[in-house]
Structure formats: structure tokens, C-alpha cells
Amino acid sequence: MTPRVRFAPSPTGWLHLGNIRTAVINWMHAQQVGGEFLLRIDDTDPESSTEEFRLGIEEDMTWLGLAWDSYAKQSERFPEYDKARDGLIASGRLYPCYETGPELELMRKTAQIQGKPFIYNRTAYPLSADDEAKFKAEGRDAHWRFALTPGEIKWDDLARGETSFMAENLSDPVLIRGDGSYLYTLCSVLDDIDLGMTDIIRGEDHTSNTAAQIQLFQALADQAGLSDFQMPRFAHMPLVSGADGAKLSKSNGALSIRELREHGGLEPLTIVAFLSRLGTPDGPQPVSDITELASSFKIERFGRSGPRMDPEELGPLNSKIVRQLPFESVTDRFEGMTQAQWAAIQPNLEKLSDVTDWLALIHGPVTPEIEDPSFAAKAAELLPDGTLDGDSWKLWTDAVKDATGAKGKSLFMPLRLALTGQARGPEMAVLLPLIDRTKIVARLSGQAA
């Protein structure tokens, strides 16, 4: 069976560095094992899900280079969920419960006072017809729970190793709310079966959920007559926290991919390289292509402790990546840039967007700032003959220094202002050979060129 993994975001907000890490790990794992990557939009909640967020997810994934092999939307699969629901009810594995919110909260507080985890006590399993009629007469709406079978639930977790739970220590999970809407569990498990997921990689906060879901997987597979059903493999990755130790989430304003894409000035490869190694002993490495990351990716390299993510580390990594990108990967982003210009500019870049500033100074027009026209005129006379190269700036400034007596800032700043119109900017020794001689002479005479 071809390995298949999925990333299943809900279109209820923008993707951020925390949840996109799950997508990166799944995508890398698929590439490494020769598998397929599914993007599944979990949009069963019509009140919170929006088309804007769905499109934003797809734009972010495309920008990052995380291409999907197949695509699904849960909102298009409600008939399948309804069929599964009816089958579970008929088999007795899905049962109605009529506790109100306050009643459930009292159960949780009681367990907390007793120092015990909350486990639903199955007061409604099985429920007599008289009791059910009574609850309905009171105007209560039933929520539906999946009945777990007592016994040990265990699996060999790709990230955690041997993992086990006793079903008796877990609450029967709610699959359907009182208003009839589905929770994540039923839809996700059925999708994973129908869409052929072989490996499910997600955060470690889902570990206990997986124990209950394993029984649901088997119940739905038996219901569908899948005698050869193979349980997916699971990997529960340690959760990432921010530099301050707080959990990354949409609600606490974690840095969004949209923000980084539109205003961060980072290369998508920087983000993927950073996230694909976060939590491993390897650390992020500068690469020039996403396939380099995939070829060396191993899920076994991730540690058991949750890593901290400091966005400040993205800048230095971005500089390293930009400074080793081949000309062919950037030429279509900057019209008219030559390979010689790229070779000169590249070692000085922090962000690829800086190239635009360099090209503007090279091609102009630049409005020069000249305080002493006679100084500028003398400098124009002393400009080295022939083709300008990496040594020309020193030869030129030495000649101007000897002729005028200017030195230090009084020597270099007037030349910079004349050629660039700016007090700060690229190294002049690198910039000078890139500017056409006629433009240099024109700028030194005070002309915009």
C-alpha cells in the first residue's frame, strides 16, 4: 500500500508557525517514504469556517512549496458521516446522553475535588425507553457518545514508542453534539479510512484521543465489511511552544504564515527548513531547494521534549539561505538582473527583497546629493580607466585622497551620496563595478541618472 499522510486544518483562522510545522513534517515524511500527501479541509463547522480562511490555507501551502497530491473537504462528505452515524447507533456503539452542560461541569468538578481525572460514568448507557422519554419531555437534546470496549489499547508510536491506555480509564468520546452537528472525531476517523491514510502524524495532545479513535477505527471498518483493514500508524509529536514557553495557537496570536508571506520578507524555504528540523539535534541547515530537506528527513530524529520556537532565529537562517541560492532560482523574480550582478549582490543580502534596492541604485535613476561640486568634479576626473572591478573603489578613493586631502568619512560619504543619494546602503566596493561608467560620471556632475 502506498504510504499516505494528511494535513487537516480547519478554515477558522490563519495558519501559524505552530500548526504549519505539522504540515511540514507530514509532507517531508511523505516525500521521504515515497508516499502521498493529502490536504483535507476540516470545514464541518459552518459558523466558524470561512472561504477566506480556506483560500488562505491553500495560498500559504502553495507559497511554502508543500504541494498536495490529493484534496478533500469534509463539508462535501456529510452523507458518508450520516451513514456511519446510523450504523453505529444500530450496533449499539453510539448512545444518546441527556446531561446538561451544568450537570457535566458538576461531574468534572467533583472528580477534580477527589483528585481524579474526569471519566464519564455511563449513567445513560444503556438508557431505558422511559428515561429517554422523560428527558425528551423536559426539552433536553441528546448528545451522542461512542461506547468504548474495556481492555488495553496499545500501539507502537513512531515518535513515542510503545504506547498504551486502558479503555476503562477513558471517557466515552462525544461524537455528535446536542444540536446534531458532528465533532472532529467521527468525521476524521471515517475520512482516514475512506481516503486510505496509512500514517497519521499530529501533536502529542492527541495521544489519549488516539486510544479512543483506534476502537472507532475498528468499529467503522467492521461496519463497512473491511476484513483486510490495517490500522494506520500513529506519530504524536511534542508540541512547540514560543520563546516564552507559551503554547503556540491561533488564539494567542502566534505568528501567521500570511503575515510572514506578505510582510516578513522571508523566503518560504527558510520557514520550511526551520520547521523541518525544529526539535531534532540537527538544527536548521541552509539549503537551496526543498527536496534537499526531504531527502535527509527522518521522523525518528525528533526528540521527546517539546522544543521552543524563537522567530528571531528565522532572520539569520534566511540570510544564509539567500546567500547560497543559485542565480537560476531568482532570475525570474528580478527582470533584467544579470548573473554578474547577482554574484556581486548575493553575499551582502539579508533578504531577497534587498535585491530591488541594489538594482535601483545600479540602474537608476538616482538623484545625487552633492555638497561640494569641485570635490565631485575632481573625483570624476580620477575615476580609474577601463573596466571597473572589485579593486576599483580602493584605487579610486586612494587617488581622490591624494588629490584632495580628504580622508575617512569626509572622503567616503560625499562619494556615496553622489552615487547613491543615500547615507547608508550597499558596500561601495561591490556596487561601483555594477554601475555604468556614464551613470557614475553623470551622478558626480549632479545629474539624476
Tell me the pLDDT tens digit for each residue of 410-444: 999 999 999 999 998 889 999 999 999 999 999 99
Containing 91, the helix (H) or strand (E) segment is: helix 78-91
Task: Determine the residue type at 306.
Answer: G
pLDDT tier at 249, thresholds 50, 70, 90: low
436 DSSP assignment: -
The confidence score (pLDDT) of residue 252 equals 53
Query: What are the residues facing 165 on neighbouring strands?
Result: 153
pLDDT of residue 163: 97
Q: What is the DSSP letter of 253?
A: T
Alpha carbon distance 415, 431 (integer Å): 12
Q: How confident is the model at residue 348 (pLDDT cuts 50, 70, 90)?
A: confident
**366 DSSP assignment:** -
58-67, 278-287, 386-395 — which is least confidently predicted?
Answer: 278-287
Each residue of 345-366: b (16+ CB within 10 Å) or e? Answer: bbeebebbebbeebbebbbbeb
DSSP 184-198: HHHHHHHHHHHTT--
- What cell was used for 281? 539535534
Collapsing DSSP to helix, strand or coil, 412 comes out as helix
Evaluate whether 82 touches 74 at the Cβ level (below 8 Å): no
Please say if the pLDDT value at position 384 is more than 80: yes
Q: CA-to-CA distance for 153 and 231, rounded, in angstroms?
A: 12
Query: What domains can you pick out in the chain, each with its CATH number?
Result: 1-88+151-168+183-324 (3.40.50.620), 332-444 (1.10.10)
For all residues of the chain together, what is the average pLDDT? Answer: 94
CA 86 to chain CA centroid, nearest Å? 37
Residues 6+ away with beta carbon under 8 Å from 334: 355, 356, 359
**Would you tell me how many other CB atoms lie within 10 Å of the CB of residue 19?**
22
Q: Measure the N-to-C terminal CA separation of the chain; round to a whole number of Å.
A: 64
Mean of pLDDT values over 52-61: 98
Q: Please check whether residue 199 is in contact with residue 5, taking contact to mean a CB–CB distance below 8 angstroms.
A: yes
Please report how many Cα atoms fall inside a 13 Å half-sphere around the Cα of residue 409, on the Cβ side: 2
Identify the CA nearest to 429 among candidates 371, 347, 356: 347
pLDDT at residue 102, rounded to an integer: 93
CA distance 309 to 204: 17
Question: What's the gap between Cα 286 and its chain centre?
Answer: 17
| pLDDT for residue 313 is more than 60 | yes
Position 255 confidence tier, pLDDT thresholds 50, 70, 90: confident
- Contacts with 423 (C-beta within 8 Å, 6 or more apart), sequence order: 413, 416, 417
Q: Which spans in 233-303 are helix H?
A: 257-259, 268-277, 290-295
Residue 215: the pLDDT is 98
Can you give the pTM of this predicted structure?
0.89
Integer CA distances (angstroms), 379 to 22, 129, 399, 421, 424, in order: 58, 101, 8, 16, 20
- Please determine, for residue 250, whether its predicted confidence score (pLDDT) is greater than 60: no
The three grid cell numbers given for residue 22, joined into one nine-digit string: 505539522
- Percent pLDDT > 70 in the chain is 98
**Joined grid coordinates for residue 43:** 470545514
Beta bridge partner(s), residue 152 = 166
Stretch 77-101: mean pLDDT: 97
User: Which tens digits make up the pLDDT trace of 111-129?
Assistant: 999 999 999 999 888 899 9
C-alpha cell of 434?
555594477
Q: Give the pLDDT score at 445.
A: 97
Quick one: which of 282, 287, 262 has its CA closest to 272?
287
Quote the pLDDT of residue 274: 96
Give how far Cα 178 sits from Cα of 12, 33, 173, 175, 209, Å: 21, 42, 14, 10, 20
Cα 162 to Cα 158, 229, 236, 431: the distances in Å are 9, 21, 12, 60
